[in-house]
Chains A and B, each alone.
Chain A
Amino acid sequence: MLKLKLNKITVKKLLKGINNESHIRIMEVCGTHTMAIAKAGIKQLLPANIELISGPGCPVCVTAQEDIERILILAKKREVIITTFGDMLRVPGSTGSLQEMQAQGADVRIVYSPLDAVNLARNNPEKEIVFLAVGFETTTPTVAFALEDAHKTGVDNFSIVCMHKLVIPALKALLSDQETEIHGFLLPGHVSTIIGTIPYEFIPREYQRACVVSGFEPGDILESILFISRQLENADYKVENQYKRGVKTEGNKIALEIMDKYFTPFNSLWRGMGEIKDSGLRLRPEYVQYDAIFKFGLQDTLVQLAPSGCICGNILKGILKPEECALFSKMCTPAFPVGPCMVSSEGACAASYYYAGGEVIGR
């Protein structure tokens, strides 16, 4: 792990270690990395042959449109209080966003933990509290703990819309997609605290790509890019752990166990990527009473098409960049988003929009 504090001088020293001159395309899988890279202006520091592309690691961005439509139907019900992390509020559906429905009287509340939603259920026994469960392996365990809390204390007016996704199946899908050209992966630090580093080992073994599990400080990211560059230079492909202070090889056993207790994988729909085998989580049959979609009989909601002109799908696969979208920063802005990549604080379009640093001022 990087010991020195980063400043203008130490950054230059660090970058001197990158000797690889071939064109390198590195995908940052995680949305938090996308934001950190944009915010720190890391692309401005890198030599021209290193290209960073954003991946499918923004949970709100990859949520399928049909899930959004179901949520909007739920929000219209008088007996329902929707609880959610802030990012879902502005994602547009065919009949508006949760925020617009809130203005029309829907009861939508932002929570900072799913446990708050269980407490809300406890305090409002006459209401059904629906939590929008979005996120990768980082957030899923906390939802499982909330379910455990509700289950053990007999809270039966709490349910979730389960939209959890898994990182590994998405990486497999990306790697088998011929269109996506990626030489190395900046692997998600937070997800890896849960799943560990072993599940990534198929990437160097079967696909000969460089892999580094990275922390989120600018110094972590730069050092991880240096590691990827070295792996490629030496054709020594492996899973390196740059984020040792957070990630253990075997992950977090307790979190994995409670996830497994409540959830089971199924073939899930990803925005732009379609259905990916075993890439989503749903509640196990014995806990289906906590599934809001089942509870309200919304399994057969019609699939709505993604908004026309929006290329979020190809952005999530790393094929196109936000600036290549005709809607970007014209029709589609964070205040009036067309696609979810512009809504989420982890979305590639929002990152490009907010922190376009070098590009905008012509550096």
Chain B
Amino acid sequence: MQPVIIMRGVKLLADERILLSHGAGGLKTQRLIREVFQKNLGNAYLQQELDSALIKFSSHKIAFTTDSYVVSPIFFPGGDIGKLSVCGTVNDLAVMGAKPLYLTLGLIIEEGLPVEELDKLMFSLGNTAREAGVQIVAGDTKVVEHGACDKIFINTSGIGIVPPNLDLRPQKMVPGDKIIVSGPVGNHGIAILAARESLDFSPPLASDCTYLNYLIDGVLNTGASIKCMRDPTRGGLATTLNELAQQANLGIKLHEEALPVQPQVKGACSMLGLDPLYLANEGKVIIVVANKDARQVLEEIRKYDIGKNASIIGEVTDAHCSKVVMETELGTLRVLRMLEGDPLPRIC
């Protein structure tokens, strides 16, 4: 017997596949919307089924962002493209100090995708959104011919409210500020690579894909003097810190012994000739904080499960402007440049 996805009219069966006509805007599209999207993502905004969601704001400052997700494979240890497309956009809002509220969801689906897989992805996406406290308020689905995209591409845009008087910018960094990272780096990049190439690591490597808004909210509520925050996704920690150093026109000095990297990530990287500092993360935040408040912020981050391995990894300096330099465990200095080229395409 086929597992039935939902009880309504003509049912979509779990072994059914997405056809071009599911994106044609007719009855099949409507069925897909109701039986997969509404079921998993439904809320008062979506149920209105209007051309736009109508959202009321008073005089708040709004943070607004967008991101597209093309990761391959679409299911990977630690997450899937559905979860990722919520976390990525939520994190982009959160690092600006915004409270993420509403997301839109644009899907481009390759014909032939089993409905069961789409349902699984939307279940995961819906769950992640609920956990992160955001609502999917509008969406769009297009289906393209076989080969025109790879299974599914997702775009999410997000809106969040920024508390009054909060001003986070790299230009606020000054020499002496501390750099904190919320946990070990490189996991997402190496997990995707391992999944894609069927490299089995023991213990298995999982992506760090998660939403950071509660942790960041906690950090902001300490009242510490936070200068700016970034989530080090593509290009990794080294590239993100280079962007900060360039924007602030200051140097950043890191201490290798303070950098959290899991031993299995280190091992996999040395085997594959990769550097964890240049691998993508999907659940980490870099926080630049005034020296006097660094300890307090570190302790706050460590209260969260996803932040328990947070570490103060370095400081801002005026010694080598717009460059990132790492003191190695041997006491030598290494310049960390921006990532050149793309060692791993389609990781997010």
A residues in contact (CB < 8 Å) with B: 6-8, 11, 39-42, 44-45, 86, 90, 112, 218, 333-335, 345, 353-358, 360-361, 363
Among A86, A356, A360, A363, the residue within 8 A (CB) of B343 is A86
Given A86-B343, A90-B341, are A45 and B272 also a contact pair (CB < 8 Å)? no
CA distance A44 to B325 in the complex (A): 14
Which of B15-23, B169-177, B241-249, B331-339 is near enough to bind chain A?
B331-339
State whether B330 touches A11 (Cβ < 8 A).
yes
- Whether B333 pairs with A112 at a CB distance below 8 angstroms is no
* Chain A residues, CB < 8 A from B325: 357, 361
Point out the residues of chain A lying under 8 angstroms from B47, CB to CB. none
Within 8 A of A (CB), among B301-333: 319-320, 323, 325, 328-333
- Complex Cα distance, B325 from A41, in Å, reads 12
Assuming A86-B343, A112-B199, A354-B337, is B331 touching A8 (CB within 8 A)?
A: yes
12 A-B pairs with CB atoms under 8 Å apart are: A6-B329, A40-B328, A45-B330, A86-B343, A90-B341, A112-B199, A353-B337, A355-B334, A357-B334, A358-B333, A361-B320, A361-B333
- 8 further A-B contacts with Cβ under 8 Å, apart from A11-B330, A218-B330, A361-B323, are A7-B329, A40-B334, A41-B332, A90-B341, A335-B341, A361-B319, A361-B320, A363-B333
- Complex Cα–Cα for A8 and B331 (A): 5
Q: A112-B197, A112-B272, A335-B340 are in contact. Are A8 and B330 (CB under 8 A)?
A: yes
Whole-angstrom CA separation of A11 from B330 in the bound complex: 7
Residue of A nearest to B270 (CB): A216
Residues A45 and B332 in contact, CB atoms below 8 Å apart = yes
Residues of A within 8 A of B203 (CB): none
Chain A residues with CB below 8 A from B333, complex form: 41, 44, 357-358, 361, 363
Question: CA A41 – CA B331 in complex, angstroms?
Answer: 9
* Inter-chain contacts of A39 with B (CB < 8 A): 334
Report how far A11 CA is from B340 CA in the complex, Å.
32
Contact B320 A41 (CB under 8 A): no
A333 to B338, CA, bound (A): 12
CB distance from A200 to the nearest CB of B (A): 26
Q: Contacts A112-B197, A334-B341, A335-B340 given; indicate if A345 touches B273 (C-beta within 8 A).
A: yes
- Cα-based distance from A353 to B339 in the complex (angstroms): 12
Query: Are A44 and B340 within 8 A (Cβ)?
Result: no
| Cβ-closest chain B residue relative to A355 | B334
Residues of B within 8 A of A6 (CB): 329-330
B340 touches A355 (CB 8 A): no
What residues of B have a CB within 8 angstroms of the CB of A334 in the complex? 340-341
* Structural contact, B332 and A44, CB atoms closer than 8 A: yes
Given contacts A86-B343, A345-B273, contact A358 B337 (CB under 8 A): no
Interface of A is mostly: helix
Contacts of B323 in A (CB 8 A): 360-361
Name the distance in Å between A38's Cβ and chain B's nearest Cβ. 8
Does the CB pair B332–A357 fall under 8 Å? yes
Contact B341 A40 (CB under 8 A): no
Residues of B within 8 A of A357 (CB): 325, 332-335
Q: How far is the CA of A112 from the CA of B197 in the complex (A)?
A: 8
- A41, A86, A355, A361: which contacts B330 (Cβ < 8 A)? A41
Most buried by A among B197, B272, B273, B328: B328
Residues of A within 8 A of B330 (CB): 6-8, 11, 40-42, 45, 218
Contact in complex: A355, B197 (CB < 8 Å): no
Instruction: Give the residues in chain A near B329, CB-CB below 8 Å.
Output: 6-8
Q: Which residues of B contact A8 (CB under 8 A)?
A: 329-331
Q: Which residues of B contact A42 (CB under 8 A)?
A: 330, 332
The CA-CA distance from A8 to B333 in the complex, in Å, is 12
**Which of B167-191 touch A at CB < 8 Å?**
none
CB distance from B198 to the nearest CB of A (A): 9
The 6 closest A-B pairs by CB, nearest first: A41-B332, A8-B331, A334-B340, A44-B332, A335-B340, A357-B334
Q: Could you say which residues of chain A place their CB within 8 Å of the CB of B335?
A: 354-357, 360-361
Determine the chain B residues whose CB is within 8 A of the CB of A345 once the complex forms: 273
Rounded to whole Å, the gap between the CB of A109 and the closest CB of chain B is 11
B193 CB to closest chain A CB (Å) equals 10
Closest to B319 in A: A361
Query: Which chain A residues lie closer than 8 Å to B272 at the CB level?
Result: 112
State how many angstroms separate the Cβ of B336 from the closest Cβ of chain A: 9
B319, B331, B337: the one contacting A11 at CB < 8 Å is B331
CB nearest neighbor in B for A333? B340
Q: How far is the CA of A39 from the CA of B326 in the complex (A)?
A: 11
Q: How far is the CA of A333 from the CA of B340 in the complex (A)?
A: 9
Nearest CB in chain A to that of B332: its residue: A41
B287 CB → nearest A CB, Å: 25
- CB pair B328–A41 under 8 Å, yes or no, is yes
> What is the distance, in angstroms, from A79's C-beta to the closest C-beta of chain B?
19
| A-chain residues with CB within 8 Å of residue B328 when the two chains form the complex | 40-41
Instruction: Give the residues in chain B near A335, CB-CB below 8 Å.
Output: 340-341
